[in-house]
Structure 1
Amino acid sequence: MDNKDRPDVTRAEKRQPPGPPVHNCWDACQVRGTAFGLMLERMRDGIVLQDMSARIEWANPACEAMFGWTLREMQGRKPQDFLLPPDKRPGPEAIAAFRFDPERSLFSQLTVTEHIRRDGTRFWNQQSFSIIDMGPKDTDKKVVITCRDVTEQVRNEQRLGTARAELEHAAYHDALTGLANRKRLGDFMQSARVRAEIARGRLGVLQVDIDKFKDINDTFGHAAGDRTLRHVAAALCATISEAELACRTGGDEFLLILPETPSKAALLERAEALQKAIRAPLTIGARGIHVSVSVGASLPDPCEVTDTEALLHMADQALYAAKDQGRDRIVFYDAHLGRRLQAEQLLARDLAKAVTDCEFGIFLQPQLDLTRTCISGFEALLRWHHPIRGILPPAEFLMAAEKNGCLADIDYMSMNLALDALATLRREGFSDLSMSINVSSSILADVNYPGLLDWAMQSRGIPPDRICIEILETTILDQDGLDVMTAVDRLKRLGVRVALDDFGTGYAGLAHMSAFDIDAIKLDRSMIARLEEDPRNRMIVRSIIRLCRLLDVAVVAEGVETGGQLDILRRSQCPMIQGYGLARPMPVSEAIAWMHEMRASPHPPFLGLPESSASDEGPNLRA
């Protein structure tokens, strides 16, 4: 059938003369000046038309601007010849031989390629390839490429990738020493291999603590203390194999987990080798520091059921025995040390009586709003008025309370005492103060907790926005994420604020900020303590404060004790602080008297600092 007899043949096809492909398809398509033509001319994305050999036939103005070449200069050339950077450009023969393959995945996905402009600057080009079939001949097939400069997006993704890798590493490693942290330790101890070694009685544990580390800090300074920590970490790394794990679990405490330890003698031999490596001379400046460590060792008994927590606890008990015996010692856990558990049982009995007899009270520690230079609220800190041992802080009994199932009862008691204290402060005329209340996983798991909290606030006439519930990062890690998220959501619906406590203690805090709807974070005192000596720590703290400001998340710096720390925090625009530098925790009656003193004094003695210079960022703090 002739073309004149085919109804589907357009006039353009009938008019097209035979011969080589037309290079100026813009004119050939007769679209210049039409709405379609104007659209192509004014598109922000670049449009390139190529033949199947990749020779450029036409490009729109956006493409000319993107590449730095005019259409006339590009026509007839292959982009590989001038758009690819020299270090990524194929040879002349490969460029000449190139042809598009319609079956390739190139035509079904976006590609991002690094290209080079005429002026030599490199950029990332996102391209979409499609084929236009204009007739039966090979020369009738054209390739249309849509180009978009995504350099900024690619660079942002690269920066995010780097940050993500750093955060992933930080989530499992200690920032100062590079050793594994508690999160990595937890994962390692739950592995099938470790559990099998415990069952065989062949998992050695060495708990290591630096002797008189506080004296090193006090005598030589915190920089020397950090050097000492890195010195010990290096010795640990030098004595372990890839199958073993070294981690930093606290300020000056370390752990070695040693699979395939055949006997007590072999474990003690490893401990002695470690002590010898740590005793290697450490020189700081012109002075030498003698470093020694106490070591607690434990090995599971294959005849008894021992879990990972018990094994670590055994090593911890042995460590304290080593320190009690004069330090620089190695102690292996045995039945004699096990008798110390009897003391824990006594503590459990005392705790049960304390809950029944309401032997608990709260101390209040003020929080200073640096923006307004005023006290914005208090944190309620639980204390046990033990009839024999005196006033005990939570660290003395909370672990035992959790083990014995009375932690939730203590939490509810603490909640009511804190709300009573705030109600008393409000009656004294301090109605603008807030109260921060610590909660445990036990109380968060109670579905009745939000309702009881709501009733307790209403019965005292306390607005919900005056209450901030503080949740430890460890609470989030130890609980199922969905349960904690639900608990936080229930609290938020009440109108109370939620803060993430002890932020920056080695867990994946940034991930928690994105996963949970929190109102504030509390920078852990361990980060604040190193502000003046550790530039990297300062940069991290400033970055966290800046990020929280962008996310509209409040920041409270805990453990502020020196003027230098406060000055750094003020210049970093940290909105709120608390710590011994402001005031120690005090009974409610003393807190009320303290507030009256602050109100009466024209110059509140915050940290005893002189008035800040005008060049500082943030508000001045009066002496």
Structure 2
Amino acid sequence: MASSFYPVRENEAQRVDALCDLKILDTQPEPEFEAVARLAQSMFNVPIALVCLLDKDRQWFKARCGLDVTETVRSEAFCNYPVALNVPFVVNDTWLDDRFIANELVTGSPHIRFYAGVPVSLQQGLPLGTICVIDREPRRFSDDDIRKLEDLALVVRSLYEQREKANQIVALMETQAQQTVLIKQQMLEISRQNRVFEQASKLAKIGAWEINPVTGDLVWTKGMYDIHGMSNTVPVDPEDIYNLYPPAVRKKLQKEIEKSNANLTGYTFEGPVILADGQRRWMRVSCEVEVEDGVIVRRYGMKQDITEQRELWDQTQFLATRDSLTGLSNRYVLRTSLDEAVLSPGGAGLRALFMIDLDGFKHVNDSFGHQAGDHILKTMGRRLRRCCRKSDIVARLGGDEFAILMSNVTDHAEFEAIARRLVSEFRKPVTWRSQSFQLSASVGLRIWNGSEAADADDVLSEADLALYAAKDSGKNTYHVYTPKMKSVAKRRIETVIGVATALNKDKLELFYQPKVALSTGAHVGFEALLRLRKADGSVTAPGEFEAALNDPELSRRIGTFVIDEAIRQAAEWRANSLAFGHIAVNLSGSEFQNDAFVHETVRKLQTAGLPPQSLEIEITERVFLNEDSDKVLSALKALKAAGVRIALDDFGTGFASLSHLRTFPVDVIKIDRTFVNGCLRRPDDNAIVQAILLLARVMELDVVAEGIEQEDELTALKSYGCGYGQGYLFSHPLPQTEAQLWLRALTTQRDVA
């Protein structure tokens, strides 16, 4: 709730009137004010910096960095205090200050914990507002910090004075518009004052000068002597000052002076000078002229040492256009260049946008820290630059995302050659300290003809679709955008939405395929298989909605549903004394991103009164190859320690299977149906099946053969010593009711026996 009390000055009405007279409230942002706010933000390393004006019932921000709103109610304004007291005001920790602990700007956005503000006045005793800095963490603010903030307040005050002076000039012009006798003289004076004033505001001039072009007499203020490091007792020769500029710079200045003489106009010039003590400083000189009868009779202006400003400007320009880590262009430059490329068709050849993702970076960054991650990003940035021309825009978009914008290429093949080179460069190892990291890149490529107009947003999204296709095809490759990708993406989105809707409406269910002991034919358990029930009553298998299983968040929700439903069904069968054995569920990598997954799964088994061996977790090698394999390994070890069995599904179809068997806590190997179905027809498949069975015996692992459909397959597998199997030879996947009948039939057979 907003506070009803805040301090105000005794002359508050006069103060508000002075603010209104300035005619600054609700004006558009101005670069000078914004620059001061950015400087304050950078100088004090805070997330928020504001140039604030206190109106009657609100505080309004003339400039703001790090804050989305343009105003707040007056009752919540911290700036009430420095304005009311007319002194710097600091709150090191709002949580420890009874005046602010319940303030809505503390309890809510932007969650102020620290505030420092300095009043800004135009007239003595009439502060109009403040310049303030804000942090979301408590901090200390030294006396030196306060002096720096006061210096910035003086800059803001000078900007207010500029506006006041401009208002006065406008008022003077309006008042004297009808005074035709003096209009020429007044307009000349106002114009000169306005130009000098604008220069003073824009350039923050320190010294003023005046010269008579006819006599060469030069007049300097003390500030001019100061910035040149000269004593004001020394006569000033214009030629000596001119020669302070290096020869190349003098030529440019001479051209400006000649242009001024020819056009009877002033000029502004910036350039370095070498002072008498050897210092190299940047100077900005502005010149205005007075002309009588077509002849310049007077030159005057201001001169400023802008060395620090120049350095700050160079740094600001770098930060505004460059990625600070890699030195590549940033997202802003890429988007600006892309907008220009698509909105300005023409030029020879083709254009292309490359979108590049660094595969495997997250795992390295999480495992070895940001120093290793930063080293990799800088290395990859240099490799990207080497693959491109100087004219190409090479950008880091953020994280491990990069982009390249190329123009004027003759054919598609050249772009694809560059894409292949990028993939090859990213595949090279990166060495950091004693570590060597093997990463890869996925590249999406959108090519268009430079003579045709295009839409920047479309180009970006289409390059992203190509990137998605590259990642979906196994990463470490590139794909060029085709229109088909858009329709595929649309179907993928529709599939994800459809499955999410089905999950919310209880249209997903589990079918159960029996697993048997091959030597006896005895039932040992089920594999739970996900099915989607359509409106017409038919069901579809996961192959038809695989896109939904590839969506991390939806896949996690589906995994939770599968485990919950399997445990519920197992508990029901156990309560009905039906010996179901165990239920195996298939999980993706998404479930393992939840740090509480193991704890929640074990708790659910305990709550249902089920022994842990009632549940078997099946995972594929794709889960092992996930970037977060360390997290997966930790979770699987914890599950096994709790008594849950782990099965490696589709064994032999992926990569590095043997190393996974050694590293991961596997209890069961499942031979993929492709090997089972081919073991009697193809010698290679037969050899693979027997090799897997031999390996399992050595490692004391159970083996389940999937997809057994023929008697001769069963006979062969039994002769090879395979322990367990499943497939259409024994039973199709069964809905819950039929699976229950299956179990009851088995129970009856055992009772009869």
TM-score range, shorter chain: 0.3 to 0.5
TM-score, normalised by the number of residues in structure 2: 0.38
- Which structure has the higher relative contact order (CA within 8 Å, separation 6+)? 1
- Higher-Rg member (1/2): 2
